[in-house]
Amino acid sequence: MIEANAFPGPPQPSKSGLRRSLLAVRSGLTSDDIAAAEAALARRALELPELAGARTVAAYVSVGSEPGTRALLDALRARGVRVLLPVLLPDNDLDWAPYRGADRLVRASKGLLEPDGERLGPDAVTGADAVLLPGLAVDDRGLRLGRGGGSYDRVLARLERAGADPARVVLLYDDEVVARVPEEPHDHPVHAVVTPGGVRRFG
């Protein structure tokens, strides 16, 4: 676990400072590190009861040194789960489209990979049984640190407005479970974090 006071500066680092530190660690990962973590993440996540009984899962395609999701996406699809993937809109909100396999992913803005199929609208996420969230860290309270674009803050707010309560699960590396992340009023806690080393639940 990374302790918040391991970073230079004030006792609680700023979000931007914590992001820089965590991204620097990720940048040092090798392709073998990333591949091994992806396989372990898929195994751990597929053991979750929330995914075992899910009919629809909102997820995302990992890129670069992010904790890998592709093995998990394919395993869910092979189970007959309807997997929804995000499509980034010009205002940083997210539309959603069905995942139909790696060969149906296309390059999009900001280096992202997105499905090439029909767009279902931003509210499609409210019908998911589980939502898998990207992030850079999560703390002891289940508060997640994202990359700062606000896309998933909108998703979580949309779920709340709709009265939807899918399982909210963030996928991270083991050392990205931290003591504290800076909190803001709009932050929504997740239910669980999955890392290659295991699962931790909150609340």
| Binding-site residue ranges for substrate | 61, 66
Q: Which two tokens stand for residue 129?
A: 């049984």
To 5 degrees, how large is the angle CA 138–CA 43–CA 21?
A: 30
Strands 105-107 and 94-98: what pairing? unpaired
Can you say which residues are annotated as belonging to the binding site? 15-19, 61, 66, 144-152
Q: Which two tokens stand for residue 79?
A: 């189970």
Distances (CA, A) of 42 to 92, 110, 111, 183, 195: 27, 25, 23, 29, 9
Can you say which residues are annotated as belonging to the binding site for ATP? 15-19, 144-152
Direct distance between the N- and C-terminal alpha carbons of the chain, in angstroms, rounded to an integer: 19
